Chains A and B, each alone.
Chain A
Amino acid sequence: MARKTSELGRFTDVALLVLISLAEGQKHGYRMIHDIEKFSGTALEPGTLYGALMRLEERAWIEAVETAERRKPYRITERGREALREQLATLRRIEQAGARRTATVWGTT
């Protein structure tokens, strides 16, 4: 996963947030920003969001949904789901390792 996301640069974290937001269904930019702020506390600005969307679309992890409306929704693709699963698994391993080590050294659980 690290190899896959390395080219996303400073957009790696934003890309993860976008993929998580789209995991439950298609959304347009406005709803994505609200959703991400709600579940992560991160207030994204349009320039950052669309920088990440451009990269995710380029690697076919998300795709735009055809619509006549001005606000274009995006949805996660199968490749995007696979990438998200891998990244979440990596984060879980990191979280478990962190929890184990802090418990050993600091005696916390």
Chain B
Amino acid sequence: MILRVIARSMVSLYPHAWRQRYGDEVADLVASRPVRVRTVLDLIGGAADAWLHHRRIPGRRPFRVPATAVLYVLGAALWFLWNPSTRDRQSLHRAWAEATDMGTLAQTLQGMATSLFATAGVMGALAMTPVVLAARGAMDDPVHGLVTRERARRVVTTALSVAVPIVLLGYLSYATASAGPLGDAMTGGFFVPGVLALSLPVFTVAAEVPSLTSEAGTGAKVLAVAAIVTALAWLPVAALTLLGLAQAPWTFAAAVTVSALVSVCMAGLAARHALRRSRTVTSPLTAV
């Protein structure tokens, strides 16, 4: 009995496309034949083989790395890059001193970067607002079925749970902005992509509620604009780094460049994911 349960659970080790194609048949075989230790080991070997040769699975889709995993990696990369770029006080002060030799241009660029990052952060944090408001209304509206109301409730609870880390990120960004004018100018670039990525679960849950399609689309567009603003905010930072390049080591310039690329990629990916989610066609069942 226990071996049968273990063998049945081994099916979950197989790739998704394989399970879609053969999962039911193998589960049926496991349920209707004697199961031995050898059966379990054979299924483990079969799962490893299916992963190694997943291209052979009939009807498989091209292998894609999940966007969530990429966002995690990019977020971790930004966290590690935060120190060599924005916390290298000596390089930051030297570069800033060199940049200010150009007159008020440095202050203007610094103000632009700070304002743009702040704008992108606020937009990212508020992007889910239309979805949450609509979900809040749908929760208690008897016009909607039980399933829709329950899913609308999930949208609201998800929004509440991601609001806490978003506020924390915002506070951290504000509290740590003390690495000189150049450091302050780029700090937002390390936090805004995280804010954008954190709001994604709300769009994922909202994709299951057809009545929220319009609001989810609006919110995703706001996220896309926030991602564009994030990219624009890095331009004055790049200009400042270039102006102070003579006084900063190449490692500092390299760290800022990589940070900007990772930041823009992460913000862009989060926005793209939200846009895709908002366009997801939901099954007719969700309309019940």
Contacts of B47 in A (CB 8 A): 47
**Chain A residues touching B, range:** 10 to 19
- Interface SS of A by simple majority: helix
Q: How far is the CB of A76 from chain B (nearest CB, A)?
A: 16
Do A46 and B58 touch across chains, with their CB atoms under 8 A apart? no
How far, in whole Å, are A30 and B32 apart by their CA atoms in the complex?
8
Do A29 and B46 touch across chains, with their CB atoms under 8 A apart? no
Do B29 and A29 touch across chains, with their CB atoms under 8 A apart? yes
- Interface SS of B by simple majority: helix
- Most B CB within 10 A of own CB, among A46, A51, A53: A46
Do B46 and A47 touch across chains, with their CB atoms under 8 A apart? yes
CB-CB contacts below 8 Å: B93-137 with A: none
> Using a CB–CB distance below 8 Å, which chain A residues touch chain B?
28-30, 33, 45-51, 53-55, 57-58, 70-72
Given contacts A54-B58, A71-B25, contact A46 B50 (CB under 8 A): no
Q: How far is the CB of B9 from chain A (nearest CB, A)?
A: 13
How far, in whole Å, are A28 and B29 apart by their CA atoms in the complex?
10
Count of residues in B whose CB is under 8 Å from the partner chain: 25
Do B46 and A71 touch across chains, with their CB atoms under 8 A apart? no
Given contacts A50-B22, A51-B46, A51-B49, contact A45 B56 (CB under 8 A): no
Contacts of A28 in B (CB 8 A): 25
Contacts of A50 in B (CB 8 A): 22, 25-26, 46
Given contacts A51-B49, A54-B50, contact A46 B39 (CB under 8 A): yes
Do B28 and A70 touch across chains, with their CB atoms under 8 A apart? yes
How far, in whole Å, are A48 and B41 apart by their CA atoms in the complex?
10
